[in-house]
Structure 1
C-alpha cells in the first residue's frame, strides 16, 4: 500500500507539473499574441494620423482653405509630459504622473465638408472633422489628433487619443499596456526637403528659444514665431512604443533593459530624454513579470506643402 501511495503521488506530481508547464506555455503564447496585436494596432493609428498632418482638401471644386505661414505648426510635441482629458488642446500639460517619461504628439489638419455634410477626414478617435466655417476661423478650427500616455482607473498605462468633438474635448484609450511612448522629429535644417538630424521636442523648443522675433506686441511676435519655428522644419517623425502584456507570464531574471531608439541613442541622450531607456528592475513590482516588446516606426510627412515647410 505504501508503495502504491508513493507511486500515485509521483504520478500526481508529474501530472501537475505537466499541467502547470502547459498552462505557462499557453499564457506566454497568449500574451505574445496580445502584445503584437496591441503594438500593431497602436502603430497603425498613430501612423495614419501622422500621414494626415497638414492635410488640405484639394479634391474640392474650389480653392481650399490653406495653412498660412503665420499659423501654428501642423506638428508639435512635448517631452515627458501628459495631458488632462477635457482641457483644450495642449493646455494643462503636466509633468506630474508621467508614465516612464512618455511624450506627447499633436497633429493638426483640415477637415472636409460638402453641401453641409461632413466628409471622410477622421481624427484619431475615428470621428469626422468638418471644414472650418470661414477663412477667419481656419486656424482655430483645424482638426486635432493628440497622443499621450496616462493610467486608467486600475493603474494600467494606456496610449490615449485626445480630440475635439462638436461640444467638448475628450480623450479615449487606443491601446492598453503602453509603458512608454517616445517621439523623435527629423528636422530639415538646410531646406533640401530631407531630414538632417533627429531631435526630441525639448531640443526643438530650445531652437525656438533662440529665434529673433519681430513685432510691437506679444500677438505680433507670436505670429512671427509661427513663421520661423523649427517645428515647421519637421519632415519625418519616428516614434517608439514599449508594450507590455496584461498579466504575469515570466519567471526568469527581471533584469532586461529596453532601449526604445536603440542602445546608442540611449547612451548619448538617455540622461536628458526620459523614457528612451526603461529598466525592468525599476518598474512597479506587480508588473515586472510581464512580457514586453518594442515597436518602432518612421514616417515621412506627406503634406509638407500644407504648412510644415513654411
Structure 2
C-alpha cells in the first residue's frame, strides 16, 4: 500500500515536471518565432517606407498621389488597389499605402522583393485573414498583369500606423505631430482649393494635401504565437499600441487566442524622398 502511494506520488511529480518543461519549451520556441516574425516585418516596412516618393529622375515633379497615404480601421481586396476598402480585420487594423517610381536598373523593389521599373509602383500593407482564419500582415503590389498580395507574417492581432506631419512654414522636414489617417483626411476636407475649373481645383487640393507633409511614419504591430505557448499562470493583458488607438484586450478574446504568447513591435521611420 505504501509502495503504491509512493509510486503514485512519484508519477504525479514526474508528470507535473514534464508538463512544466513542455510548457516552457512551447513558450521559448514560440517567443523566438514571434521575435523573428516581428523583426522581419519591421525590416520590410522600413525598406518600403524609406523609398516612398522615390524618383528615378531627380528632376521629376512631385508624384500623384502622395508618397505616403493610409486608411484607418480597414482592409483590402487582394485583386484591387485600395478603393473601395473593406471592413477592418484584427482589431481595427490600418492600411499603409506607399507610392514610388521604379528604376530602370532594377535597384528598386516592392514589398514582395520584385523589381519595379514602372512610373507608378506601390507597396501596400494591410491585415487580412487567411483561409484558416489566421490574420496575416500582407504586402500588396502590382504584378505583371494584375494586383497580387502575399503574406509577410501570420498571427497578427493588430497593425496600427501614425503619420508624422511637418506643420512648419517653411518646412524643415521634422515631424511636429503624429496623426491618424482619419485625422489627416479630416484636415484635407477643410482645404479651400482655388482654380477656375473643377480639374484645377482638384489639382490644387491634391497639391495642398496634408499627406504631402508626411515626413515620418510610426508603426506598431502586435503578434501572437501558437496555441498553448503562453507562460502558465501569466495574467491577461491589455495592449494599447498608440494612445487613442483601439486597444487589444486579451480578456475579450476567445480562450484559444488567450493561450498564446504575444509581443509588441514598434518603430518610427523617416520618409527620405520629400
Could you tell me the TM-score, scaled by structure 2's length? 0.94
Q: Which residue of 2 aligns with 1:60?
A: none
Q: 1:184 aligns with which of 154, 162, 169?
A: 162
Distance, in Å, in 1 between the alignment partners of 2:234 and 2:36 is: 26
Q: 1:219 to 1:252 in 2, by over 3 A?
A: farther
Structure 1 residue 79 corresponds to structure 2 residue 79: no
How far does residue 219 in structure 1 lie from its aligned partner after superposition?
A: 3.2
Q: Which residue of 2 aligns with 1:101?
A: 92
Check conservation: 2:236, 2:258, Cα contact below 8 A: no
Q: 1:91 aligns with which of 83, 88, 94?
A: 83
Distance, in Å, in 2 between the alignment partners of 1:252 and 1:152 is: 30
Structure 1 residue 7 corresponds to structure 2 residue 6: yes
Structure 1 residue 166 corresponds to structure 2 residue 159: no
Check conservation: 1:31, 1:247, Cα contact below 8 A: no
How far does residue 149 in structure 1 lie from its aligned partner after superposition?
A: 0.6
Which aligned segments of 4 or more residues in structure 1 are displaced greater than 4 angstroms? none
Distance, in Å, in 1 between the alignment partners of 2:204 and 2:226 is: 48
Distance, in Å, in 2 between the alignment partners of 1:20 and 1:76 is: 48
What does 1:273-288 align with in structure 2 at a 5 Å threshold?
273=245, 275=246, 277-288=247-258
Check conservation: 1:254, 1:281, Cα contact below 8 A: no
Distance, in Å, in 1 between the alignment partners of 2:237 and 2:158 is: 15
Q: Which residue of 1 aligns with 2:185?
A: 205
Distance, in Å, in 2 between the alignment partners of 1:301 and 1:64 is: 16
How far does residue 188 in structure 1 lie from its aligned partner after superposition?
A: 0.5
Check conservation: 1:254, 1:288, Cα contact below 8 A: no
SS in 2 for 1:150: strand
How far does residue 218 in structure 1 lie from its aligned partner after superposition?
A: 3.9
What does 1:51-90 align with in structure 2 at a 5 Å threshold?
51-57=50-56, 63=57, 66-68=60-62, 71-87=64-80, 89-90=81-82
Distance, in Å, in 1 between the alignment partners of 2:88 and 2:104 is: 39
SS in 1 for 2:54: coil
Distance, in Å, in 2 between the alignment partners of 1:158 and 1:53 is: 23
- Aligned pairs, number: 271
Gap regions ≥5 residues in structure 2: none
Cα deviations by residue, 1:229-275 (Å, 9 ceiling, x for unpaired): 000000111000001112222343653111213xxx2xxx2xxx3x3
Q: 1:67 to 1:248 in 2, by over 3 A?
A: farther
Q: 1:143 aligns with which of 116, 121, 137?
A: 121
SS in 2 for 1:296: strand
Check conservation: 2:65, 2:99, Cα contact below 8 A: no
SS in 1 for 2:55: coil
How far does residue 284 in structure 1 lie from its aligned partner after superposition?
A: 2.9
Check conservation: 2:23, 2:228, Cα contact below 8 A: no
Aligned-residue Cα RMSD (Å) equals: 1.6
Cα deviations by residue, 1:17-65 (Å, 9 ceiling, x for unpaired): 11111101101101110110111001111111000101122xxxxx556
Distance, in Å, in 2 between the alignment partners of 1:224 and 1:283 is: 46
Structure 1 residue 252 corresponds to structure 2 residue 243: no
How far does residue 217 in structure 1 lie from its aligned partner after superposition?
A: 4.3
Q: 2:108 aligns with which of 99, 105, 121?
A: 121
Distance, in Å, in 2 between the alignment partners of 1:148 and 1:154 is: 18
